[in-house]
Homo-oligomer: A and B are copies of this chain.
Amino acid sequence: MPFIPHTDHDTQLMLQAIGVDDINSLFDEIPDELRCGKLMGVPTAISEYEVGRLMRRQADKDRVELNFLGAGAYEHHIPAAVWELTTRGEFYSAYTPYQAEASQGTLQVIYEYQTMMASLTGQDVSNASLYDGASALAEATLMAVRVNRASKSRRVLIPQSVHPHYAAVTKAITASQSIELVQIPYDPNSGQTDLAALRSHAGTDITAVIIPQPNVFGVLEQVDEFADWAADQGALGIALVNPISLGLLRPPGEWGREGVPIVCGEGQPLGVPLSSGGPYFGFLTCREALVRQLPGRLVGRTVDRDGKLGFTLTLQAREQHIRRSRATSNICTNQGLMVTAATIYMSLLGPQGLRRVAAESHAKTRGLAAAAAMIDGVEPAFTAPHFHEVVLRLPVRAGAVIEKMRRQGILAGIALSSWYPELENCLLVCATETKTDADLHTYVQALGQQIEASRAAS
């Protein structure tokens, strides 16, 4: 019996001790009419060897050589040590550290993580993770609404330049709490949020303003103006950031005159593999004064009986297992293991490494954009500075080019028209530090070739 250690002898002794004849008797409280038959929809067992072969076959089908996709999930070098350590059984197979004395390893990791994320984002406090970047934005929005009691409108401004999936998730999760999400358009030239459009909301009751940096186009927003305007309106700023970019970019805590008090985002770039979209982790940091409205777990340092420093879950009264229907969120299981990976990743990279990864990713994307722009008919769609993604406007349909380049082993980018119909022929491309100059060359060659071919065909 795979994974069940009982010998027949054991089972007999146990049944005797209980005083029943067979295992089935232990289910005698279940009404007979509810008892089901065999689970015929599940195939019969196969051995680990057979499963391994099967999975290898499936995994091999999806392998791609060169990946230039971004849009919320980024390929970076993950040091070998990260997952060799993270998958150690003691991290991998532990539960939430409710028994602090038996979980100092996990707890200390989280405390270190909280320190790193707080500093990276320029805040005081970080929680111990949320599910992913999109749900973190939703939670940040709910938190901002709870915090900003002065505002009654529950109106939250969300730029159109926020990743459409993030906007959708925020909508789905906040929908039934009568929060109104108001979209702010982007400037079709710069690719930044149209500040004039934003300012047209001046004087109305606005609870919070979401500020993405970089935005979904990879473009850097005018975050200082953004933050100051929000503060002037009595609205809470919520920064949505890429954590790798913060190796190089100014942290939200320093945006504008006072900084932005709530920061969230997707943690995946920090040492978590692409993995088809998950498990990733959402991060959420804030100013000290807001901590009691922070959703999710929090680890604090304290002392034991002998005065020795140690770590424990703290401020649990915010959480569902204590405060139930009045908790700051329903979140229980979070993305702990990913936090472990990210903590190890950030330790290995350090401030210098993280800056280099950010700067190199930026440089590679610039290089790619410049080379692609040499192709007849290809041009950058936006003028504002970008981080490590760029939108290219092609002279042909982006979807067709993508499919053809895929056959050459290149994931060329994302056709933006499915999210932004007005951005016809636009391709969102990302190059990180993982791309060599030769890779960029391969990409641009292939792109030119396929555009040529598409034009010839049309």
Contact = CB atoms under 8 A, between A and B. Distances in A.
A406 interface: no
Interface string A405-442: 00000000000000000000000000001100000000
Contacts of A87: 84
Contacts of A84: 87, 89
Contact of A434 (B49, B79, B89, B433): B49
A84 B52 CA distance: 15
A48 B49 CA distance: 31
B80 A48 contact: yes
Interface string A87-105: 1110000000000000000
A77 interface: yes
Contacts of A434: 49
Chain copies in complex: 2
Nearest to A76: B49
Nearest to A85: B89
Instruction: Bin chain A's interface residue count.
Output: 10 to 19
A210 B370 CA distance: 71
Contact of A77 (B48, B77, B433): B48
A48 B48 CA distance: 32
A48 B79 contact: yes
Contact of A88 (B49, B79, B88, B433): B88
A68 to B, nearest CB: 16
Nearest to A433: B49
A433 B50 CA distance: 11
Contacts of A88: 88
A101 B47 CA distance: 39
A273 to B, nearest CB: 13
Interface in A12-60: 47-49, 52
A80 B49 CA distance: 9
A49 B52 CA distance: 27
A47 B360 CA distance: 14
A159 to B, nearest CB: 34
A355 to B, nearest CB: 15
Contacts of A89: 84
A52 B434 CA distance: 11
12 contacts: A47-B77, A48-B77, A48-B79, A48-B80, A49-B77, A49-B433, A49-B434, A52-B77, A52-B80, A84-B87, A84-B89, A88-B88
Sorted nearest first, the 7 A-B pairs with minimum C-beta distance are A49-B77, A48-B79, A49-B434, A48-B80, A88-B88, A48-B77, A84-B87
Given A49-B434, A84-B87, A84-B89, 9 more contacts: A47-B77, A48-B77, A48-B79, A48-B80, A49-B77, A49-B433, A52-B77, A52-B80, A88-B88
